[in-house]
Structure 1
Amino acid sequence: MVLPARLASALGQHPDDLTEDALQNAIDNQIPEAADLDWKKDFYGGSDAGKKELAKDVSAMANTVGGMIVIGVDDGKRDHAHELAPVDLVQGRGEEWIRSVLANWVQPVVPGVGVRMLKSQRHGDKIYWLLTVPSSPRAPHAVAAPGNDYSFRVHVRHGTTTRTLSESEIAQRYRDRFQAASDDVNRLHQVAEDGTGYLSSFLTRTVEDSTPALTYYPAWLTLSSVPAVRGHYPLTTQAQRAAGFDRFRALAAGAVTTSLMPQHPVLVGRRQVRFEGTSTGQLHQDGSFYGARPLNLRPDRRQGPDQLSQIGIELDLVALVQSAAHWAAETGATDDLMLSAALHRFDDNDDPVKLIVTDDVFQHGPVGRLSLAAAEITADLRALADDKHEAVIVAYSLASDLLADMGAHQPHVLTPDGDIQTNRLSSDWKRMLTGW
């Protein structure tokens, strides 16, 4: 989760790693409240008034810069950490209750809120509640009682307090949200364009009269992605790029196939890591991603159109989607992930190709040119990173669009409910499914 950098500096460690000793250090150092930090002595009440207060505090932070609410530290009415005051664990009002209140009292729901219970080592059975709230791309978030959509308020943090926005301020926040969505689309297209440009230069490059890679790999599948809430993984030094590269290799090894595992050397890009070969791509420090795999394209022995493996496209798409989501999550990015998949030919050959489902002549697909239009989708980042079936669902949607442009009715092995029909795979393809 991406939180204001000031928090880690003020608290001495990342908010996700706070301990009771760290809270005591905050008291000793009289760490003040701010727009991104709220010390609270008491837990929220179970009445509607208490639920509304919880919703107001969380939505206000999400509408501002994000931050942290610490329940169990008294500010002594001095607006700084004054004294440890851990609270009792109230039956029926734990993490599930907190999330239920936020889901029912805040519109739209604030994505990525962290809820952590910290047991006190100094005060018996007492506890602290640590709520971490990222700045939200879906702001403004309004507070309204369940079932009452006609009376709502939008709150923001103002220094150490919370205030209500006026009608004109709310309108401006909505304009900001729509502009941010447009900026995300522009960023996605930029990542795709820059990545494809780099791929083209790699394919056409010759060194000491060597044969360019384009000769062997003229057609490629690419995937670009941009998270709605950007992350940050420092990639400005050789050591940082090497660490990022090694971490991505480990993440890619856990995909349904290992086809996207990059090969050394680690290459330099501005605030990014680059890699080349049969797995080519860029890892951006904000969690954006570009990956490319050569299409399984081979000549027809009967002098007909070149043959293109449909199964290869489908399985590579799953691995690309997983790798993109894992990299974004690794950088701390949250909320949605925008993805764009495309097919490319770099040899200026516009001849039709024949989709091949299996080597059985009765399983050959239609003949058509590679789709020129990208397929795009937006999905929940955390779901993609945590569940391989979610990645298959997204890959199925992308593959459906790309294949439909070429005359194929649907993917052959991916299903819309997130499964891979392994009974349709040859033994060679099954051996590739190392992560299924």
Structure 2
Amino acid sequence: MKRILFLAAFLGLGLSSCKKEDKAINNNDISIEEESSSAIFHKYSINGKPFIVKQVGDKYYIADDIMISQRQLNIIKKTGSSAGGKVASVRNGISSDFTHKWTNNTFYYKISSSRSAEILQAFSMIEGRSSVKFVERTNEPDYVTFIDDSSNGSSYSTHVGMEEGSSKVIGLHPSQGIGTIIHETMHGLGYFHEHTRQDRNTYVNVNVSGLSPNQAYQYQIQPYSTSYGILDFNSIMIYPPSNVMTKVGGGTWTAQRDDLSEGDIDGLNQFYGFKINGASSICSEGTYTIVNPGTITLEDADGIATLTALGNNQWKVTRTGTNAGFVKLKTQNLKGYSVEKVIDVGASFNISGRPIVNPGQIYTYTVDASLGNVSFFVGGATTLSTTANSVRVKVLNAQNGALPYFYISATAQTACGVSTVIKYPTVQE
């Protein structure tokens, strides 16, 4: 039986197949085969809706590129035979224990493919933005083997999530690139197709009338999936629009196989845990644990905070004096892929007003009226008047052809005590 060329999406926790090109994807990139005479379609009632499992020999599929284990098949059978056929409540982002995360977030692999450089780059693109770690297998019993396989017409994954004791393979078609390798690896991590998430009807219309069973079951909602955020039309796991699947309210989208989207990264963080763990706001200092750390930097922090390495994958961000602002704690791996966490240091607040000013002109800058004991200081300008939460200034004229260095400093009573914020408008003629 030939596999379909299958596009998928990530935020519904799922897996998918691939395409002929790793750029924009269109309907020509999906090959849907008529059912083989050897295929048997088993129908179950889950959550009050029919759910199809296709059997070919001793293999079971919930889509032509998603094979399931005997354990997962038994869960489907048990749910389908129970009163009402209801899926159990979600536990740790996994419905009814159907999909297992990799233990300690560690994905063990073996490469029996000629494309090891591309496979390792795909790993880096995932690992650099998530808490997932890829480790070459030594004697671990549960691992995934990457192989070259042109026999199916597309790449594929024989598993969804970690399955103990079963043979797990990701087959790579030679015509498909790094984006497809990422796509299939996401299947191995435990993700279903985006268009099969349980809330998909809020975002897309799916019309399978007239399709054969082999075609229609590939669009069925996965009752064991968990949705993170809104449906991500830019996900590396999503199908392209077609006469079967259209956008609710009109419009369209372009499926891509370039890189993980922001939604994909967020979904990985939600499922496997955040790469940078720690508070989003601090008054004096905060400790941050970084999973799989690369190069660690603290950006936009000049005069606001400093960074200290503590060891054991931990770093401390310490506030400088009473200064306040938003800083970025960033980790970047050797391939240049990065994750950052924005931290509010010292209960920062906004100074509102013109970001671009002209010499000799008058401008007003304000802070939130809820702040207490506000005082202003300006440089490169003359203070004309102040109120409880605003200052009116006149920017100085150029001197000897040089534009003034203009800034506004506001000090106020905040949740962190006294905090000072500085704004630097740009002066131009």
Q: TM-score, normalised by structure 1?
A: 0.29
Higher helix share: 1
Q: TM-score, normalised by structure 2?
A: 0.30
Q: Which has the larger radius of gyration?
A: 2
